[in-house]
Amino acid sequence: MNPKLVIRIVAILLIVISAFMLLPVIVALYYEEYDSIAPFIGTLLGTVIVAMTAVGLTASERKQLGTRDGFLMVTLSWLTAAGVGAIPFYLSGSIPRYVDAFFETMSGFSTTGATILTDIEALPYSMLFWRSLTHWLGGMGIIVLTVAIFPILGVGGLQLLKAEVPGPSVDKITPKITETAKTLWLIYLGLTVAQTVLLMLGGLSLFEGLTHTFGTLATGGFHPKNASVGHYGSTYINVVTTVFMLMAGVNFILYFKTLTGRFRAVTGDTEVKAYLGIFFVTALGTSLALWRQGAYSGLLESLEHGAFQVASILTTTGYVTDDFSLWPPLAQTFLLLLMFFGGCSGSTGGGVKIVRIVTLAKLAVTEMKYLLHPRGVFGVRLSGVPIRESVVHAVAGFIVLYIMSLLVITLVIGSSGADLVSSFSTALATLGNIGPGFGLVGAAENYAHFPDYIKWFLSLVMMMGRLEIFTVLILITPRFWKP
Amino acid sequence: MKIVIGGAGVVGLQIARQLIAEKKDIVLIEIDGDQARYAGERLDCMVINGAVNNISVLRQAGLDNADYFIAVTGSDEINMISCAMVAQHFPTLYKVARIRNIEYSESIYQHGGFMGVDWVVTPEIETAQAVIRSIEHGATSDVMVFQHSDVQIRSFTIDAESTLVERTLEEAGSLIPIPFLVVVILRGDTYIIPSGDTRVEKGDVLYVVTTRRGLDHLFDALGKHRRELRRIILVGGGRVAVEILSHLYAGNHGTVFDSQPPGRQPARRRDPDVKVIERDKAKSRQIADLFPKAVVINADIGDDELFEEEHLDLADVIVATTEDQELNIVTAVYAKSRGIPRAIVLVGKANYIKIAANLGIDASVSLKNATVDSVLRFIRGRSSVSTVYSIFDGTVEVIELPVNEHCKAAGKRIRDLPLPKNSLVVAVIRNGEHLIPRGDLEVHAADQVIAIARSTDIDRIQRLFTVPA
């Protein structure tokens, strides 16, 4: 263990994050919200002073970072980022209680999009901008994390995509981690610019375009309007957002491969095929259910809303165009089932991740083959490449852990007096980083009504879900702290 | 012609034996003293006891006036390096190397003259191709195909149900309405060049020349009904099996039926239904990973319950390719007794091919023969012979060669040709058309001639047709 180096790295990260607070300051200047400037500058200065001290105290340490340090570093990064990011909300009085501010910020950095705000539009522009920016930073962090750091720690779905064949690893797109990270940031930035421009062409202001984009690409769900995307009632905006939500749910490495002309790697990717397959089938099913009920005028409008909501829940974004708790039961069932799935590995989406679902489904098929040929030899293949048995077991282990966590979380939420549907869908929506659920946390509701201990607890659940559960849970095992 | 052979193992000795029979000058280099002595005692050639990858030994072998260098030691690396050394010091020689490790195959086939090797022999690949050829032709027999026509030579084992038993070949000819020619009969340990009144006996192996079109009639008459071989059982997961599987799943092999009318494209065929039985767990896993479409069973073929458990008796053909040749034969015989209609075995020893035929196994292929044939094909190819098959352990060969305009045979009738005893012109191909070589048929320039002869006479046949008089 090398706690000094961990503290040093986390401190540097906090300096970077607080530097981003200069952006909402610019927004405040533009919209003449001079009251909001002091909380941001104050937090920025305070953080920099404390962090610089920490950096100074931990100087000249050995540079070796072990696997255990990695787990600690990642978890501490998210915890402290939320802790610091919540301060401007609290100081400015936009969110008067710190527990609420912490929940909101953790929801932002974990790209969940669950909110405790009852009237979002009452907040100043600068605060709303910061709120959405936490999504964008969290999304960027998670991509770099899954591609560059999780594989080293052995968690996350991406090691599944690593070919179990000799030769250079398929998914190391450049030889160095820093290069890989830089490339992915550029892709993320490019997508951000593209969506913002497209949204502004649809009539949104730069502020709305940016915040809307931050929530989309990070598969977050914070929106500066009370009615979320439904505020605009524009087919154009809905379609653009649907497409970009889907794009944010795809493994970002595939964009790199597309850019470098390796289309075969993209078209042959089992996960993306399954992801798009699940999207098209459930979007069609949901839309037909809506159409049959006559909830919308005609098939096209049903398709528009059905596809949007399915993309939103599948990618764990959590945007809404309409209150889906009023939708026909079949459409709601589709959405509930989708809450288990999540995006692709290496994307900003949360949830179980498609690659794990596919692996487990293939394992089930393999088991059936073993029933027919007891002495046969069969394996699970992804994208045509055989997957090692131990990796398949790790996936099964993850999914069991995910389901057990869901049950425990449901119980804890139930202790606050919430009904079964609300408790269970809250567990799904927070652990899967989705945002809205059903019942008390439905599309038109929020998380404000939960007691404080539930809010603290759910903040941790969101972080746990974001960091692939293992990363956080391993910190509470006694074995972790034994040298 | 002088040929230096590096390595006097089973393959080296067999190549030497066949080339010596053709009156070629052979020098054998063998590192093992006992093996070198053994070769020296049995073969009429010079044997040097030394390392193949030693330049002074190579010089001593007289490479400066040799035409070919053939490296067939047990080690791929020594074979390649000795070829490279020969290439450096004697650049005009043709160099042949046996390379078994498939890891090298990519560089070898992509870059042509890899390490100075002119011709690479990969026994596993050649053997696998022989098996595939057999499967595609219904696994009824060994198959020899030729480059310039659709004439084939097939071997048929005559079993009790055959209508030809106890008939003379003349009677057989009137029974079957298509032209065919029995060129040689294997009976027990001897072979007979038959005439019209030779009587066919049960257990005979007939080598028959015919065209693809004529085959169906023959199959019926010989009591072998052709069937599509879609359900294949592969016993053993060694390198030959891997090569066979990659052929089967490559999709580039035609239909199993070879009676397609010419010109019509064979329909895109479904993947065959293959079960691989391999005893070793790690090997099974490896094959399952390589060929996801095949069903790999990790079990011993000797386990009787396996046949019920996997319904093996429903298969169309069993191919036994383990390293244990006795096990292959026993497996094939047992499988046939369980009702699998066709069996192909991989054997090593030459006499096992006869034993396998006597036991009713439809076709047998041998790693050694595949290697020897490939080497001989290259050497003959340099002197315009395009196809070589050795049968009866190399005592008899089948060759295909073009008729030279100025040779002794051009313009003569077949009955007037000075052919060596026990040799036969089995087919003449003119403008792609197959002609039955009756005595009064004239041989023209640019014809392709397929001939069968003792190894010792091959050189004379070759001179007769290809060397200008």
Who contacts A256 (Cβ-Cβ below 8 Å, separation ≥6)? A173, A183, A184, A187
Res B196 pLDDT > 90: no
Output the six-digit token pair for A145: 């994390």
**How is chain A split among helix, strand and coil, in percent rounded to 5?**
70, 0, 30
Note whether A167 contacts B: Cβ–Cβ < 8 A.
no
When pLDDT is cut at 50, 70 and 90, the band that residue B253 belongs to is very low
CATH of the domain at B243: 3.40.50.720
* Distance spanning both ends of chain A, measured CA to CA: 7
When pLDDT is cut at 50, 70 and 90, the band that residue A254 belongs to is confident
Mean pLDDT in residue range A46-75: 84
- What is the structure's pLDDT at A443? 86
Report if residue B383 sits inside a domain.
Answer: no
Q: Residue B310: its chain A contacts at CB < 8 A? A: 373
CB B325 within 8 A of CB B300: no
Q: In this structure, are B331 and B316 located in the same domain?
A: yes
Q: In this structure, are B243 and B356 located in the same domain?
A: yes
When pLDDT is cut at 50, 70 and 90, the band that residue A463 belongs to is very high
Q: Residue A375: its chain B contacts at CB < 8 A? A: 297-299, 306, 309
Residue B282 phi, psi (nearest 5): -65, -40
- What is the structure's pLDDT at A420? 94
Mean pLDDT in residue range B323-333: 91
Partner residue opposite A379 with nearest CB, options B289, B298, B310: B289
Q: Which H/E stretch holds residue B218?
A: helix B215-221
Q: In this structure, are B230 and B179 located in the same domain?
A: no
Grouping H, G, I as helix, E, B as strand and the rest as coil, residue B209 is strand
Average pLDDT, chain B: 81
- What is the structure's pLDDT at B250? 74
- What is the structure's pLDDT at A176? 65
Partner residue opposite B297 with nearest CB, options A376, A379, A381: A376
Which residue from B minimizes the CA distance to A377? B296
CB contact under 8 A, A377 and B288: yes
Q: In this structure, are B131 and B271 located in the same domain?
A: yes
Average pLDDT, chain A: 88
Considering chain B, what percentage of its residues have pLDDT values greater than 70?
Answer: 86
- What is the structure's pLDDT at B277? 94
CB A175 within 8 A of CB A148: no
CB contact under 8 A, A373 and B288: no
- What is the structure's pLDDT at A161? 47
Report if residue B380 sits inside a domain.
Answer: no
Q: Residue A379: its chain B contacts at CB < 8 A? A: 285, 288-289, 292
Q: Residue B285: its chain A contacts at CB < 8 A? A: 377, 379
Who contacts A420 (Cβ-Cβ below 8 Å, separation ≥6)? A410, A414
Output the six-digit token pair for B409: 């045979």
Name which of A270, A365, A372, A377 to mutate to probe chain B: the one with the most chain B Cβ atoms within 10 A of its Cβ.
Answer: A377
When pLDDT is cut at 50, 70 and 90, the band that residue B407 belongs to is confident
In angstroms, the Cα distances linking A139 to A69, A86, A88, A209 are: 22, 17, 21, 17
Q: In this structure, are B28 and B51 located in the same domain?
A: yes
Residue B417, Cα to own-chain centre: how many angstroms? 28
Report if residue B418 sits inside a domain.
Answer: yes
Res B260 pLDDT > 60: no
CB A342 within 8 A of CB A353: yes
CATH of the domain at B426: 3.30.70.1450
3-class DSSP string for A111-140: CCCCCCCCCHHHCCHHHHHHHHHHHHHHHH
Res B267 pLDDT > 50: no
Note whether A172 contacts B: Cβ–Cβ < 8 A.
no
Tell me the C-alpha distance between B357 and A276, whole Å: 57
Report if residue B250 sits inside a domain.
Answer: yes
Res A283 pLDDT > 60: yes
Report if residue B174 sits inside a domain.
Answer: yes
Distance from CA of B334 to the nearest CA of A (A): 21
Note whether A386 contacts B: Cβ–Cβ < 8 A.
yes
Tell me the C-alpha distance between A418 and A401, whole Å: 23
- Per-residue pLDDT of B276-326, as tens digits, reads 999 999 999 989 988 888 999 999 988 878 888 888 888 889 999 998 889
Mean pLDDT in residue range A456-474: 92
For chain B, the domain total comes to 4
- Per-residue pLDDT of A299-315, as tens digits, reads 999 999 999 999 999 99
- Per-residue pLDDT of A76-101, as tens digits, reads 999 999 999 999 999 999 999 999 99
Report if residue B140 sits inside a domain.
Answer: no
Q: In this structure, are B281 and B261 located in the same domain?
A: yes
Tell me the C-alpha distance between B250 and B293, whole Å: 12
Q: In this structure, are B237 and B365 located in the same domain?
A: yes
Burial class (CB in 10 A: 0-12, 13-18, 19+), B386: middle
One-character DSSP codes across B88-132: HH-TTSEEEEE---GGGHHHHHHSSSGGG-SEEE-HHHHHHHHHH
Tell me the C-alpha distance between A315 and A432, whole Å: 10
Report if residue B105 sits inside a domain.
Answer: yes
Report if residue B131 sits inside a domain.
Answer: yes
When pLDDT is cut at 50, 70 and 90, the band that residue B167 belongs to is confident
Alpha-carbon dihedral sign for residues A214, A218, A223, A229 = positive
Res B390 pLDDT > 50: yes
- What is the structure's pLDDT at B265? 41
Tell me the C-alpha distance between B156 and B140, whole Å: 7
Tell me the C-alpha distance between A317 and A220, whole Å: 5
CB A65 within 8 A of CB A17: no
Q: In this structure, are B233 and B357 located in the same domain?
A: yes
Res A483 pLDDT > 60: yes
Output the six-digit token pair for B196: 């019209």
Q: Give the residue numbers spanning the domain of B28.
A: 2-121
B 258-317 → A contacts, CB under 8 A? 281, 284-285, 287-289, 292, 295-299, 306, 309-310
Q: Residue A344 has what DSSP assignment?
A: -
Res B259 pLDDT > 70: no
Q: In this structure, are B165 and B275 located in the same domain?
A: no
Grouping H, G, I as helix, E, B as strand and the rest as coil, residue B232 is strand
As a whole number of Å, the CA-based R_g of chain A is 22
- What is the structure's pLDDT at B404? 81
Residue A148 vs residue B343, higher pLDDT: B343
Note whether A268 contacts B: Cβ–Cβ < 8 A.
no
Residue B39 vs residue B150, higher pLDDT: B39
- What is the structure's pLDDT at B270? 67
Which residue from B minimizes the CA distance to A389? B285
Name which of A375, A378, A387 to mutate to probe chain B: the one with the most chain B Cβ atoms within 10 A of its Cβ.
Answer: A375
- What is the structure's pLDDT at B376? 83
Which of A458-472, B117-131, B353-367 has maximum average pLDDT? A458-472
Phi-psi region of A346 (alpha: psi -120 to 50; beta: other; left: phi over 0): left
- What is the structure's pLDDT at B257? 33
Q: In this structure, are B112 and B163 located in the same domain?
A: no
Residue B369 phi, psi (nearest 5): -60, -40
From A149-163, A281-295, A388-402, A406-420, the region with the lowest mean pLDDT? A149-163
Q: In this structure, are B352 and B271 located in the same domain?
A: yes
Q: Residue A380: its chain B contacts at CB < 8 A? A: none
Q: In this structure, are B250 and B338 located in the same domain?
A: yes
When pLDDT is cut at 50, 70 and 90, the band that residue A41 belongs to is very high
Partner residue opposite A373 with nearest CB, options B281, B289, B297: B297
* ipTM score: 0.70
Q: Residue A386: its chain B contacts at CB < 8 A? A: 288-289, 292
Count of CB atoms situated within 10 Å of the CB of B32 = 13
Nearest 5°: the CA angle A99, A100, A105 is: 100
Partner residue opposite B289 with nearest CB, options A369, A376, A386: A386
CB contact under 8 A, A373 and B310: yes
Name which of B278, B280, B289, B308 to mutate to probe chain A: the one with the most chain A Cβ atoms within 10 A of its Cβ.
Answer: B289
Res A169 pLDDT > 80: no
Query: Which of residues B353, B369, B385 is at a domain's end?
Result: B369
CB B125 within 8 A of CB B98: no
Grouping H, G, I as helix, E, B as strand and the rest as coil, residue A91 is helix
Note whether A379 contacts B: Cβ–Cβ < 8 A.
yes
Query: Which of residues B221, B238, B264 is at a domain's end?
Result: B221
Res B252 pLDDT > 50: no
Nearest 5°: the CA angle B194, B196, B259 is: 80
The residue with tokens 């809250």 is A426
Q: Residue A145 has what DSSP assignment?
A: I
- Per-residue pLDDT of B430-445, as tens digits, reads 887 878 777 788 888 8
Alpha-carbon dihedral sign for residues A223, A10, A463, A449 = negative
Tell me the C-alpha distance between A147 and A157, whole Å: 10
Distance from CA of A392 to the nearest CA of B (A): 15
Mean pLDDT in residue range A332-359: 90
Sheet holding B151-157, edge to edge: B143-145, B151-157, B205-211, B181-187, B190-192
- What is the structure's pLDDT at A76? 92
Q: Residue A381: its chain B contacts at CB < 8 A? A: 292
When pLDDT is cut at 50, 70 and 90, the band that residue A45 belongs to is very high
Burial class (CB in 10 A: 0-12, 13-18, 19+), A290: buried
CB B445 within 8 A of CB B405: yes
In angstroms, the Cα distances linking B355 to A225, B204, B395 are: 87, 12, 17
Burial class (CB in 10 A: 0-12, 13-18, 19+), B405: exposed
